[in-house]
C-alpha cells in the first residue's frame, strides 16, 4: 500500500479531537479504509470523501465521553444511594463519635455564620443610599502644636458651589442632647414627655440621602416651620391618626407643621434620627443670627455627580477659592472622606486614618476563620482516624472492582453529606440564636443569611469546607491496598499520616490557646477599666438633664433633695467629668503666645467638687458664698500644675474663658474621658447655674430605688409638666467602652465555642489513640508495667504536641494582645499568669481526657484483650 | 415492548450482520447493504444503526486483530445475539403470516 497517500491531516486531527477515544479506533479505521479504497481511483475524491465522512461522524453520540462504555456512569443514583446508606450506617455504628463530629462542625459553622452576618452588617453601613459611593463626609484637619487633629465637622460657611463635580451639599446638626433631643407631648397629655432624638438639616437632605418619604411633602425642609418625622415618631405621638398636617410645639413655644413622614432609618445607618427640622428652627432655639450661625461648624456631606476620586475632591476643597484665608491661617484643611468608610474607620491620628471598628472586624474575621478551621481539622482527624475501621470496607470494595476514583467519590460524598447536615443544623441554630446574638451586640443585625452576597459567601464556604474536610481522608483511604487490608497485614498506624494528624492537633490547640489568652487579656483590661480609680466617684451618681426653669430654681431643687438622708449631694456643671470636651481658653503667666493647649475646663456650682468626690491635695473647695466668688476662683488638678509649670499654685492667677481667677485649691488628678485617651489637665471654675448643662446627684450606695423616687419627686415639684431625663453615670461610663464591651462579650462566646471544638478534637483523637494502642498497653501490662507507667507513655505523646502548640500560640497571642492594649493610654501590663493559666487549663483538660480513656482501657483484664486475637 | 421494535434500516442491518458472520464490521456492512439492497448509505449512518442495535441488545461486539488496510487499526466486529436472532425471526414470521393472509385474488390481480 502506498503509505504516502494520507487523508487530509486537519480532518484527521479534527476527528481525533472530537471523537470519544473509546470509539476513535473503529471510526478512524472505517474512515481510513474507505479513504484508501477510493484513493486508488482518485486522490481528490478520496480527500473529499474522507472529509465528508469525518463531518458526518461529528455527532453527539461519538463526541460524548462516557468513561465506561456499556456500564453506568460513575455517579449513578444507585451508587449515590449506596454511599448515603453506608454513611448512615457508619454514623449509627459509632453514634457518639459521629455526633461529636457533626456537633463540632455545626458549632464551627454557627460561629462563622454569626460572624459573617455581623461583619456584613458592619460593612453594609450607609450603603443603602442611592449612589452611596459618591457621597462624602467633609472632615477638617487642624494643625495644633505640629500635630493634626481631626474633626468630623466643617464650617457652616463652606461654599462648594465653585466645584463642578459636586452635585449637592448638605449640613446636618447632630447631637445627643438639647436641641437634638426634645420633649414631645402626646395629644392631651401635658405632663409627660416623649423624648425623641432628631437632627437639623439643610434643604437637600432628603435628595442627597435615601430616606424614603412615605407620606406628605417630598421636599419638607424648604419651609422654615416644617418638620419631617419618622414613622416611629408618628406612631408614638399620633397613634394611628394621620400625622401629616399636625402641629407640634417645639420646646413649648415654636409651632411646626408635620410636612412628611419618612420610613424609619434602617439599622445600618450612621445617621439615626426621629425627626428632621430646617435650620431656621435651631437658630430660633439657640437664639442666634444667620451671621453667628455661619461661624459654627457642623457635619457636612457632599455628593458628586459621578463617582469621583476623594483625592481630587479633597484637593478642590482646599483650593483658595473654597477654603478662605481665615482657615488657611489657622492651618485647617478639609478632606472628602467616603461616607461608606466612616462607620468602620473613623479614628484619625495626625490627619491620617488610624482604624476604628475595622480592627474588631479583622479580629473577628480571624477568629471566625480559625474556629471554622478547627472544626474542619476535627473532621479530618476523625475521618482519618476512623479509617482503620473502614479499611475492610474499602478492601472489599476494591476487590470487587471499585476504581480508586469511585472510592474517592464515596468518601467525598460522605463528607459532603455530613458537612451538609452540619450546615443545615448551623443555619437553624443561627436563626434561633440570632435574637440572643443581637442582645449581645446591643443592636440588631440588619442582614439575613439569605440576603444578597451573603448567600454566595455561605455557599462558597460550604463547598470549601466540604472539600477541605473530605479531600484528604478520601485520598488517604482510597490509597489502601486491598491485598494488605484483606490479609490483615495492614498495621494500624499505616492509616493516614500520624504526623499530619498531630500537626493538625497542634494547629487546633495553638489556636484555642491563643484565643483564650487574647480573651483573658481583654477581660483583664476591661476589669482594669471598671476597677480603675477615676479620681472621683462615678457610682451612685445620677446625671439629670435640666430644663431652664429647673436651673433657675436649682437651690430649691437642692433643698428639696437634702430633705432625704440618702442624698449625699447635688451640683450643676457645664461638662461631664466622665467625658469632657477639651477647652483651649486657659492661660497662665508664662504661657507661650499662640499655643493651643487643651484643658478640661469645667464650669460648675460650688458643690461640684464635693458631690463627685474630688480629693483635695492643697487649698480649699469653693465656698458656698453666692455670686461674688463667681468667675474669680479656680481649682486645678496636679496635671494642670505640671502643664502650667507653676512652682506655687495656690494664689496664682490664671485666665479661664477670659475671666481672671485665683487658684484656691489643688485636687488629685482625675480621668475626664475614656482610658484610651490621655488625661487632660483640669481647671474648675464657678459658673452660673443657668449656664450649666447637667445636674449631678450622688446618693448613698444601696439606696438607688428610694433616691431615684426622691429625686423624681423633687423634679416633679419644680417642673410638673416635664418628665425627668436622667442617666446613671455608671451607664454613661460603660457607653464610653461600648465597642470594647460588645467585643469582649462576643469574643467570650467564640472562645467558648473554640474550646468546645478543641475538646471534641482531643476526645476524638485520644479515643482512637487508645484504641490503637490497646494491644500494646495490654502487652506492657502483662509484662509487669504499672498503670502509671503506661499512662505516662500515653500522655507523653500529647505533651510534645502541647509544647509546640504553646510555642506557636504564645508569640502570636502576645503580639495581638499587646497591639490591642496599646490602644489604651492606660492599661494593665500583659498579665503573664493568663498565659500560664490558659496553657495549664488546656493541658489539664487534654490530660484528663487522655487519662480517663486510658484508665478505662487499662482497667479491663489485659489477657482478655490479647486473647481476642 | 418499545425496545423490540425494529425499524426497516435496522432490520436490514441486522440481516446483513447475520450474512457477514463472523466478519461484520462498519465498512463491510455498508458495502453489503449496497450490494444486496442497492442502498447507498454513509458510513456514519451505518455506525449509528449498529450502535443503536447494540444498545438494544440485538448485537454484541468485540475488537478484531489489527488489519493493514486500516493503517493498523482494529475493526469492531459485530455479532448477532440470541435476542437479535429472535427479533429477526419474529419479524420474518410476522411478514410471512401477514403475507399469507393476503387474499389470492389480490395477488393475482397485481401480477397480471
Q: Which pLDDT tens digit goes with each residue over A751-809? A: 898 888 888 888 877 777 777 777 788 888 888 888 888 888 778 877 888 888 889 98
Cβ-nearest to A25 among B27, B68, B74? B74
- HSE-up of A596 (CA within 13 Å, CB side)? 13
**Dist. CA A834–CA A810, nearest whole Å:** 11
Percent of chain A with pLDDT strictly greater than 90: 4
Same-domain status, A213 and A101: no
Confidence of residue A426 (pLDDT cuts 50, 70, 90): very high
In sequence order, the β-bridge partners of residue A461 are: none
Backbone φ, ψ for residue A404 (5° rounding)? -60, -40
Same-domain status, A452 and A552: no
Q: How far is CA A834 from CA A145, A507, A518, A521, in A?
A: 40, 20, 9, 7
In sequence order, the β-bridge partners of residue A600 are: A682
Query: Do A696 and A611 touch, CB atoms closer than 8 A?
Result: yes
Q: Is A56 on the interface with B (CB under 8 A)?
A: yes
Q: Are strands A616-619 and A586-587 parallel, antiparallel or unpaired?
A: unpaired
Total structural domains within chain A: 5
User: Which chain B residues are closer than 8 Å to A57 by Cβ?
Assistant: 43-44, 47
Say if the Cβ atoms of A1 and B70 lie within 8 Å. no
Cβ-nearest to B26 among A26, A56, A59? A26
User: Which chain B residues are closer than 8 Å to A26 by Cβ?
Assistant: 25-26, 47, 63, 73-76
Interface of B with A in 35-64 (CB under 8 A): 42-45, 47-48, 51, 63
Say if the Cβ atoms of B42 and A25 lie within 8 Å. no
Q: How far is CA A522 from CA A443, A453, A734, A831, in A?
A: 21, 32, 15, 10
Q: What is the mean pLDDT of chain B?
A: 85
**Which of A357, A368, A362 lies closest to A751 in space, CA to CA?**
A368
Q: What is the largest CA-CA distance in chain A?
A: 132
Give alpha helix (H) positions in A153-196. none
Same-domain status, A306 and A385: no
Q: Take residue A165 and report the three cell numbers written for it.
A: 463635580
**pLDDT recorded at residue B30:** 92
Same-domain status, A142 and A118: no
Q: For residue range A304-332, what is the model confidence (pLDDT) as tens digits?
A: 887 778 888 888 888 877 777 777 777 88
Q: Quick check: is A1 in a domain?
A: no
Q: Quick check: is A539 in a domain?
A: no
**pLDDT recorded at residue B16:** 93
Q: Quick check: is A543 in a domain?
A: no
Across A588-599, average pLDDT: 78
CA distance B91 to chain A (A): 27
Cα-based angle A618, A622, A627 (whole degrees, multiple of 5): 155
Q: How far is CA A829 from CA A522, A635, A734, A820, B59, in A?
A: 11, 33, 22, 12, 86
Q: Quick check: is B2 in a domain?
A: no
Confidence of residue A496 (pLDDT cuts 50, 70, 90): low
Q: Quick check: is A261 in a domain?
A: yes
Residue A489 pLDDT more than 80?
no
Same-domain status, A505 and A492: no
Say if the Cβ atoms of B27 and A57 lie within 8 Å. no
Say if the Cβ atoms of B43 and A25 lie within 8 Å. no
**Dist. CA A237–CA A26, nearest whole Å:** 87
* Residue to test with chain B: of A33, A53, A57, most B Cβ within 10 A: A33
- Crossing angle between the packed helical segments B8-19 and B43-56, to the nearest 10 degrees: 90
Q: Take residue A857 and report the three cell numbers written for it.
A: 482501657
**pLDDT recorded at residue A594:** 72
Query: Do A842 and A517 touch, CB atoms closer than 8 A?
Result: no
User: Which chain A residues are closer than 8 Å to B24 by Cβ?
Assistant: none
Query: Do A86 and A414 touch, CB atoms closer than 8 A?
Result: yes
Is pLDDT larger for residue A649 or for residue A634? A634
Residue A357 pLDDT more than 80?
yes
Same-domain status, A576 and A513: no
Q: Is B74 on the interface with A (CB under 8 A)?
A: yes
Q: How far is CA A725 from CA A550, A569, A670, A715, in A?
A: 12, 19, 26, 10
Task: Reduce the DSSP state of residue A47 to 3 states and report it.
Answer: helix
Say if the Cβ atoms of A29 and B43 lie within 8 Å. no
**pLDDT recorded at residue A347:** 82
Q: Are strands A659-667 and A653-656 parallel, antiparallel or unpaired?
A: antiparallel
**pLDDT recorded at residue A230:** 92
Q: What torsion do the CA atoms of A787, A788, A791, A795 make, to the nearest 10 degrees? A: 180
Cβ-nearest to A61 among B48, B68, B74? B48
Q: Take residue A384 and report the three cell numbers written for it.
A: 482519618
Give the end of a domain, one of A721, A744, A772. A721
The contacts of residue A577 (CB under 8 Å, 6+ apart) are A536, A602, A612, A670, A672
Same-domain status, A526 and A426: no
Query: Do A193 and A722 touch, CB atoms closer than 8 A?
Result: yes
Confidence of residue B17 (pLDDT cuts 50, 70, 90): very high
**Which of A289, A336, A348 lies closest to A163 in space, CA to CA?**
A336
Residue A3 pLDDT more than 60?
no
Q: Quick check: is A71 in a domain?
A: no
The contacts of residue A788 (CB under 8 Å, 6+ apart) are none
Cβ-nearest to B44 among A1, A25, A56? A56
**pLDDT recorded at residue A67:** 52
**pLDDT recorded at residue A629:** 60
* Residue to test with chain B: of A7, A30, A31, A38, most B Cβ within 10 A: A30
Q: What is the mean pLDDT of chain A?
A: 83
Cβ-nearest to A29 among B45, B48, B75? B75
Q: Take residue A382 and report the three cell numbers written for it.
A: 476523625
A439, with CB counted inside 10 A (0-12, 13-18, 19+), is: exposed
Across A74-90, average pLDDT: 76
Backbone φ, ψ for residue A583 (5° rounding)? -135, 130
**Dist. CA A55–CA A600, nearest whole Å:** 90
Confidence of residue A188 (pLDDT cuts 50, 70, 90): low
**Dist. CA A505–CA A759, nearest whole Å:** 11
Q: How far is CA B105 from CA A141, A266, A374, B94, B99, in A?
A: 115, 94, 91, 21, 13
Residue range(s) defining the domain that contains residue B63: 8-111
Q: Is A18 on the interface with B (CB under 8 A)?
A: no
Same-domain status, A459 and A529: no
DSSP, residue by residue, A370-383: HHHHHHHHHHHHHH
The helix, strand and coil proportions of chain B, stated in percent and rounded to the nearest 5, come to 60, 15, 25
Interface predicted TM-score (ipTM) of this complex, two decimals = 0.86
- What is the value of pTM for the model shown? 0.73
Q: Of the given ranges (A97-111, A304-318, A338-352, A380-394), which has the lowest mean pLDDT?
A: A380-394
CA distance A400 to chain B (A): 24
Residue A1 pLDDT more than 60?
no
CA distance B56 to chain A (A): 11
Confidence of residue B59 (pLDDT cuts 50, 70, 90): very high
Q: Take residue A400 and report the three cell numbers written for it.
A: 470487587
**Dist. CA A457–CA A465, nearest whole Å:** 12
Q: What is the largest CA-CA distance in chain B?
A: 58
Peptide linkage before A243 cis (omega within 30 of 0): no
Confidence of residue A441 (pLDDT cuts 50, 70, 90): confident
Say if the Cβ atoms of B70 and A27 lie within 8 Å. no
Across A379-389, average pLDDT: 76
User: Which chain A residues are closer than 8 Å to B26 by Cβ?
Assistant: 26-27, 29-30
**pLDDT recorded at residue B1:** 41
Confidence of residue A533 (pLDDT cuts 50, 70, 90): confident
Same-domain status, A468 and A580: no
Is pLDDT larger for residue A586 or for residue A488? A586
Q: Quick check: is B3 in a domain?
A: no
**Which of A59, A41, A57, A29 lies closest to A5 in space, CA to CA?**
A41
Confidence of residue B80 (pLDDT cuts 50, 70, 90): very high
**Which of A773, A771, A774, A770 lies closest to A850 in space, CA to CA?**
A770
Residue A485 pLDDT more than 50?
yes
CA distance B54 to chain A (A): 10
- Chain B residue whose CA is closest to A23: B76
**Which of A527, A241, A509, A186 lies closest to A377 in space, CA to CA?**
A509
Give the end of a domain, one of A343, A364, A379. A343
What is the CATH classification number for the domain harbouring B102? Answer: 1.10.10.10
- Continuous segment of H or E residues that includes residue A828: none
Q: Quick check: is A69 in a domain?
A: no
Same-domain status, A486 and A528: no
Q: Quick check: is A602 in a domain?
A: yes
Same-domain status, A681 and A607: yes
Q: Quick check: is A349 in a domain?
A: no
CA distance B101 to chain A (A): 41
Say if the Cβ atoms of B74 and A29 lie within 8 Å. yes
Residue with grid cell 474536610, as numbered in its chain = A469
Confidence of residue A869 (pLDDT cuts 50, 70, 90): low
Q: How far is CA A795 from CA A582, A798, A836, in A?
A: 60, 5, 19
Residue range(s) defining the domain that contains residue A766: 497-533+730-869
Same-domain status, A739 and A851: yes
**pLDDT recorded at residue A493:** 47
Confidence of residue A452 (pLDDT cuts 50, 70, 90): confident
Q: Quick check: is B59 in a domain?
A: yes
Residue with grid cell 453506608, as numbered in its chain = A86
**Which of A572, A599, A569, A594 lies closest to A583 in space, CA to CA?**
A599
Confidence of residue A76 (pLDDT cuts 50, 70, 90): low
Total structural domains within chain B: 1
Q: How far is CA A98 from CA A411, A421, A758, A764, in A?
A: 15, 12, 16, 10
Residue A424 pLDDT more than 70?
yes
Amino acid at each position: 500500500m502506498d503509505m504516502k497517500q494520507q487523508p487530509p491531516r486537519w480532518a484527521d486531527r479534527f476527528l481525533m479531537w472530537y471523537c470519544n477515544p473509546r470509539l476513535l479506533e473503529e471510526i478512524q479505521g472505517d474512515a481510513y479504509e474507505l479513504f484508501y479504497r477510493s484513493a486508488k481511483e482518485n486522490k481528490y475524491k478520496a480527500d473529499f470523501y474522507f472529509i465528508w465522512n469525518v463531518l458526518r461522524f461529528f455527532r453527539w453520540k461519538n463526541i460524548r465521553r462516557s468513561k465506561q462504555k456499556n456500564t453506568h456512569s460513575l455517579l449513578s443514583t444507585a451508587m449515590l444511594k449506596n454511599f448515603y446508606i453506608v454513611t448512615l450506617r457508619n454514623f449509627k455504628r459509632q453514634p457518639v463519635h459521629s455526633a461529636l463530629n457533626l456537633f463540632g462542625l455545626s458549632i464551627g459553622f454557627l460561629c462563622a455564620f454569626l460572624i459573617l452576618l455581623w461583619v456584613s452588617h458592619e460593612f453594609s453601613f450607609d450603603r443603602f443610599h442611592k449612589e452611596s459611593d459618591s457621597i462624602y463626609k467633609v472632615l477638617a484637619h487642624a494643625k495644633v502644636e505640629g500635630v493634626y487633629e481631626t474633626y468630623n465637622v466643617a464650617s457652616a460657611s463652606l461654599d462648594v458651589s465653585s466645584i463642578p463635580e459636586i452635585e449637592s451639599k448638605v449640613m446636618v446638626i447632630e447631637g445627643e442632647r438639647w436641641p437634638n433631643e426634645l420633649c414631645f407631648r402626646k395629644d392631651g397629655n401635658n405632663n409627660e414627655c416623649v423624648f425623641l432624638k432628631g437632627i437639623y438639616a439643610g434643604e437637600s437632605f432628603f435628595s442627597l440621602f435615601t430616606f424614603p418619604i412615605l407620606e406628605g411633602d417630598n421636599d419638607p425642609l424648604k419651609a422654615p416651620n416644617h418638620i419631617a418625622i419618622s414613622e416611629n415618631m408618628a406612631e408614638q405621638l399620633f397613634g394611628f391618626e394621620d400625622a401629616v398636617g399636625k402641629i407640634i410645639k417645639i420646646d413649648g413655644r415654636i409651632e411646626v407643621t408635620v410636612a412628611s413622614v419618612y420610613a424609619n432609618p434602617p439599622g445600618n445607618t450612621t445617621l439615626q434620627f426621629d425627626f428632621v427640622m430646617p435650620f431656621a428652627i435651631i437658630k430660633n432655639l439657640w437664639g442666634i443670627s444667620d451671621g453667628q450661625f455661619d461661624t459654627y461648624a457642623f457635619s457636612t456631606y457632599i455628593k458628586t455627580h459621578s463617582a469621583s476620586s476623594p483625592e481630587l475632591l479633597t484637593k478642590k476643597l482646599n483650593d483658595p477659592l473654597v477654603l478662605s484665608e481665615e482657615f488657611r491661617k489657622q492651618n485647617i484643611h478639609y478632606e472628602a472622606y467616603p461616607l461608606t468608610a466612616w462607620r468602620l474607620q473613623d479614628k484619625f491620628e495626625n490627619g491620617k486614618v488610624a482604624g476604628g471598628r475595622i480592627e474588631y472586624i479583622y479580629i473577628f474575621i480571624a477568629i471566625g476563620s480559625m474556629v471554622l478551621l478547627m472544626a474542619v481539622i476535627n473532621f479530618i482527624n476523625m475521618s482519618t482516624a476512623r479509617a482503620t475501621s473502614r479499611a475492610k470496607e474499602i478492601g472489599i470494595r476494591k476487590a470487587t472492582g471499585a476504581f480508586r476514583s469511585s472510592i474517592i467519590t464515596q468518601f467525598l460524598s460522605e463528607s459532603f453529606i455530613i458537612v451538609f447536615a452540619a450546615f443545615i443544623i448551623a443555619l437553624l441554630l443561627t436563626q434561633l440564636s440570632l435574637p440572643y446574638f443581637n442582645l449581645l451586640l446591643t443592636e440588631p443585625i440588619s442582614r439575613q443569611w439569605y440576603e444578597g452576597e451573603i448567600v454566595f459567601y455561605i455557599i462558597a464556604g460550604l463547598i470549601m469546607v466540604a472539600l477541605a474536610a473530605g479531600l484528604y481522608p478520601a485520598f488517604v483511604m482510597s490509597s489502601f491496598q486491598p491485598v494488605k487490608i484483606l490479609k490483615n497485614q495492614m498495621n494500624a498506624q499505616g492509616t493516614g499520616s500520624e504526623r499530619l494528624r498531630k500537626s493538625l492537633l497542634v494547629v487546633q490547640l495553638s489556636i484555642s490557646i491563643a484565643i483564650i489568652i487574647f480573651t483573658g487579656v481583654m477581660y483583664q483590661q476591661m476589669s482594669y477599666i471598671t476597677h480603675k480609680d477615676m479620681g472621683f466617684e462615678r457610682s451612685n451618681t445620677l446625671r439629670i438633664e435640666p430644663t431652664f426653669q429647673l436651673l433657675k430654681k436649682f437651690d430649691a431643687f437642692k433643698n428639696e433633695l437634702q430633705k432625704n438622708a440618702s442624698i449625699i449631694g447635688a451640683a450643676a456643671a457645664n461638662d461631664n467629668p466622665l467625658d469632657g470636651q477639651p477647652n483651649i481658653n486657659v492661660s497662665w503667666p508664662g504661657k507661650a503666645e499662640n499655643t493651643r493647649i487643651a484643658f478640661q475646663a469645667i464650669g460648675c456650682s460650688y458643690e461640684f467638687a464635693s458631690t463627685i468626690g474630688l480629693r483635695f491635695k492643697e487649698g480649699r473647695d469653693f465656698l458656698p458664698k453666692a455670686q461674688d466668688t463667681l468667675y474669680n476662683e479656680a481649682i486645678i488638678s496636679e496635671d494642670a500644675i505640671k502643664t502650667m509649670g507653676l512652682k506655687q499654685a495656690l494664689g496664682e492667677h490664671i485666665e479661664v474663658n477670659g475671666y481672671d481667677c485665683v487658684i484656691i485649691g489643688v485636687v488629685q488628678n482625675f480621668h475626664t474621658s475614656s482610658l484610651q485617651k490621655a488625661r487632660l489637665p483640669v481647671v474648675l471654675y464657678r459658673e452660673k447655674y443657668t449656664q450649666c448643662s447637667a445636674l449631678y446627684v450622688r446618693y448613698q450606695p444601696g439606696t438607688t430605688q428610694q433616691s431615684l423616687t426622691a429625686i423624681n419627686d423633687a423634679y416633679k415639684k419644680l417642673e410638673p409638666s416635664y418628665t425627668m431625663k436622667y442617666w446613671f453615670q455608671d451607664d454613661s461610663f460603660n457607653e464610653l467602652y461600648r465597642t470594647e464591651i460588645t467585643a469582649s462579650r462576643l469574643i467570650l462566646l467564640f472562645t467558648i465555642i473554640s474550646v468546645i471544638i478543641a475538646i471534641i478534637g482531643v476526645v476524638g483523637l485520644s479515643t482512637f489513640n487508645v484504641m490503637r494502642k490497646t494491644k500494646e498497653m495490654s502487652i506492657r501490662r502483662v509484662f509487669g508495667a504499672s498503670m502509671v507507667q503506661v499512662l505516662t507513655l500515653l500522655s507523653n505523646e500529647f505533651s510534645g504536641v502541647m509544647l509546640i502548640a504553646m510555642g506557636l500560640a504564645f508569640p502570636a497571642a502576645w503580639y495581638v494582645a499587646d497591639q490591642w492594649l496599646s490602644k489604651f493610654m492606660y492599661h494593665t501590663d500583659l498579665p503573664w499568669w493568663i498565659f500560664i493559666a490558659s496553657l495549664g487549663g488546656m493541658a489539664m483538660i487534654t490530660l484528663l481526657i487522655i487519662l480517663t480513656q486510658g484508665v478505662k482501657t487499662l482497667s479491663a483484664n489485659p489477657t482478655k484483650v490479647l486473647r481476642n486475637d | 415492548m418499545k425496545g423490540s421494535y425494529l425499524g426497516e434500516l435496522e432490520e436490514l442491518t441486522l440481516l446483513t450482520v447475520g450474512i457477514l458472520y463472523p466478519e461484520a464490521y462498519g465498512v463491510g456492512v455498508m458495502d453489503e447493504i449496497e450490494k444486496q439492497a442497492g442502498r447507498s448509505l454513509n458510513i456514519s449512518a451505518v455506525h449509528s444503526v449498529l450502535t443503536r442495535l447494540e444498545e438494544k441488545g440485538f448485537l454484541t461486539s468485540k475488537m478484531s486483530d489489527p488489519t493493514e488496510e486500516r493503517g493498523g487499526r482494529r475493526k469492531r466486529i459485530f455479532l448477532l445475539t440470541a435476542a437479535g436472532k429472535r427479533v429477526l425471526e419474529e419479524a420474518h414470521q410476522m411478514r410471512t403470516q401477514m403475507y399469507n393472509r393476503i387474499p389470492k385474488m389480490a395477488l393475482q390481480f397485481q401480477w397480471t
